[in-house]
Amino acid sequence: MRRSALLLPIALLLATSLPFFAGGWQQAAKSSPALNVAKDVAKDVAVPMRDGVVLRADVVLPNATGRFPTLVYRTPYGKQFALKEGSTFEKAAARGYAVVIQDVRGRYASDGDFSPYQNEGHDGYDTIEWAARQPWSDGNVGTFGLSYPGAVQWLAAVENPPHLKAMVPAMTFSTPRNFFYSGGVFDGSWLDWIWFNIAPDARRRKNLPGSQTRKEAAASWKQDHERLQNFLPLRDLPDLKQVAPFYYEWLSHPAADPWWDWAELRNKYDRVHAAVLNFSGWYDEAYGPDGATTNFNGLLAARRSEKDPRTHTMIGPWTHGGQDASKSGEREFSSAAPIDYDELILRWMDHYLRNIDNGVDREKPVRLFVMGDNAWRDEDSWPLTRAKETSYYLNASGASSRTGTLYPSVIVPSARTSEFVSDPAHPLTDPYTEYGAHDYRAFAGRDNVLVFDAMALEADTEVTGPIRAEIFVSADVPDFDLWVRLLDVAPDGTAFNLMSPGLDVLRASYRDASLKPEVLTPGRVYLLHLDRMLTSNVFRAGHRIRVQISAAFSPHFSRNLQTGESEITSSKTQLGHIRIYHDAEHSSRIVLPIIPRAKQ
């Protein structure tokens, strides 16, 4: 897990008894091994790492004798909590798997110092190979887990442990540039991730004052979160100096710094030889659906000569860890949305660890939940080859207007530009504290937001695939962040976002992904490209497509001070006026992948 202070990490483990996705459940029921009650758990089993540090794991074995295929789950959130509240472990053991649940380095029962993600490659490799050598293992190892326990799988897999045969990394990343940062902007949610999930145990281990339980952390966050989230410069925040020194190390490295290459997956897919089931949600944290699609396509490219590339991807309508729910935020997706997460994992493992012919290898590799239709659909690829790129061009009724229109073609503009104000001292703030679909209609008309609406649609219109925006801008400040959000506006005015914040932002000075910021010349027109958005949504007849533009969306990401200086090292802010161009020479647009639909 990375963020979501309001969602306790253990919630990510909770399984369901809901129907598995169509096509798999009946076959799984027929081909899965008979269930056996698990044996008692071996607690705090020592697992030595290559540098001599000892990590500790709990081991659950089937109630049988012999050697078993083995599953490894590694977590920073406390193996004791995982085993107590998660259902996957005992189900797996009852199904004939040995299961290793391990605290990562420097957390809870394990020795060493915790430096998030940085040790997980070597430690994951060593743990997988240790498990394969145990007398209760048959040498076939799989890994599973969601969020941080998903990330550790990838970091280990690119080290190529010989006995790793299958993995199900859920809701995790593909690149640090879309994880620690996004669009060149530092992700502010690392602050609450540390506060809730890391700091309590760190204080306990180091005997430091302050919150040492989640309950205490919640109480202190309620009291201090505004101070913490608004503190400038970021590197001078005193609260985490002792409990999370790694946070300040991260802040010292901008997004394009090669220092981050240790966490880069996109150039390492040829090192991974396990069967990989990718998994995310459209309302997952932004890195999740990007990771599930990018990692899937990266593996396909690396395995293009293989008959069975052994990789699938699945994306539902969920928030981070919400795969057992039918609702994301305020949007209901029907009983079709939830899945049996345990069965998803075990069915993949049954095929690739136990060679059970359950049909996994014959299914289409892409499974998507199409929002609006509220139905699952299987596809041959991502993006969909039948998608037709369709441009919607921005236009406005007047230069002072905060609302405009979207047209499918360039028209003679009523005004050459639209302008809004951005004040980093009082940034546009998300009124919602939890991810998911929310109604943002109240943002229309504000002086720090622009909205552009298409005409009411005459027929259902499906948008499935990558989305890009090409926006011509100028500003009277050296830098600003450009947020371009896509919303579905219902006839009653409800305006739902279609993704979580992160893939829809770009720092202007990071427009070429350069190590050194490239500040703007005031008044000069620049073309900014945002090409990391993605969704699957049917805009129903009578609905409107909306593009919402702003220069902030606090507190999700750090504030651009708009002075040309970094918020990491400086605190002075500058109010700015941002212009969006939409004339014939500067045709700002959003490009949507429209999926042809049967005539209605």
Kindly state the average pLDDT of the residues 85-103: 96
Whether 29 shows a pLDDT value over 60: the answer reads: no
Do 242 and 345 lie in a common domain? no
Determine, yes or no, domain membership for 69: yes
Do 228 and 289 lie in a common domain? no
Tens-place pLDDT, residues 483-492: 999 999 999 9
Do 395 and 347 lie in a common domain? no
Do 238 and 266 lie in a common domain? no
Q: How far is CA 445 from CA 440, 474, 495, 501, in A?
A: 11, 21, 14, 21
Do 428 and 326 lie in a common domain? no
Determine, yes or no, domain membership for 1: no
Radius of gyration of the chain (CA): 24
Tens-place pLDDT, residues 548-582: 999 999 999 999 999 999 999 999 999 999 999 99
Q: Which residue type, as a one-letter code, is found at position 265?
A: L
Kindly state the average pLDDT of the residues 187-209: 96
Determine, yes or no, domain membership for 547: yes
Q: Pick the range with the lowest mean pLDDT from 35-39, 180-184, 373-377, 565-569.
A: 35-39
pLDDT at position 316, please? 98
Look over the chain and give the mean of its residue pLDDT values, rounded to a whole number. 93
Q: Helices 148-157 and 120-133, interaxial angle, to 10°? A: 80
Determine, yes or no, domain membership for 2: no
Residue labelled with tokens 């899945």: 339
Determine, yes or no, domain membership for 96: yes
pLDDT at position 399, please? 61
Tens-place pLDDT, residues 499-527: 999 999 999 999 999 999 999 999 999 99
CATH of the domain at 464: 2.60.120.260
Residue labelled with tokens 């008044």: 523
Do 429 and 493 lie in a common domain? yes
Q: How far apart are CA 137 and CA 488, in angstroms?
A: 51
Overall pTM surpassing 0.85 (yes/no): yes
Do 126 and 241 lie in a common domain? no
pLDDT at position 22, please? 36
Predicted confidence band of residue 38 (pLDDT cuts 50, 70, 90)? low
Determine, yes or no, domain membership for 4: no
Whether 33 shows a pLDDT value over 60: the answer reads: no
Do 52 and 67 lie in a common domain? yes
Kindly state the average pLDDT of the residues 115-124: 98
Q: What angle do CA 509, 515, 580 make, to 5 degrees?
A: 15
Kindly state the average pLDDT of the residues 296-324: 97
> Long-range contacts for 439-442 (Cβ within 8 Å, ≥24 apart)?
439/330, 439/494, 439/495, 439/496, 440/485, 440/487, 440/495, 440/496, 440/497, 440/548, 441/489, 441/493, 441/494, 441/495
CATH of the domain at 281: 3.40.50.1820
Provide the percentage of residues in the chain whose pLDDT is more than 90.
90
Residues 6+ apart with CB under 8 A from 428: 443, 446, 448, 449, 550, 551, 552, 553, 554
Supply the range of the domain harboring residue 458.
Answer: 388-595
Do 406 and 429 lie in a common domain? yes
pLDDT at position 401, please? 78
Q: How far is CA 222 from CA 229, 238, 429, in A?
A: 12, 18, 17
Tens-place pLDDT, residues 440-456: 999 999 999 999 999 99
Whether 11 shows a pLDDT value over 50: the answer reads: no
Provide the percentage of residues in the chain whose pLDDT is more than 70.
92
* Three-state SS annotation for 87-145: CHHHHHHHCCCEEEEEECCCCCCCCCCCCCCCCHHHHHHHHHHHHHHCCCEEEEEEEEE
Do 117 and 224 lie in a common domain? no
pLDDT at position 8, please? 39
> Which of 236, 253, 270 lies at the terminal end of a domain, its last residue?
253
Determine, yes or no, domain membership for 62: yes
Do 28 and 103 lie in a common domain? yes
Whether 16 shows a pLDDT value over 70: the answer reads: no
> Which of 351, 379, 407 lies at the terminal end of a domain, its last residue?
379
Q: How far apart are CA 364 and CA 309, in angstroms?
A: 12
> Which of 253, 283, 309 lies at the terminal end of a domain, its last residue?
253
Predicted confidence band of residue 400 (pLDDT cuts 50, 70, 90)? low
**Number of structural domains the chain divides into:** 3
Q: How far apart are CA 75 and CA 148, in angstroms?
A: 7
Do 221 and 140 lie in a common domain? no
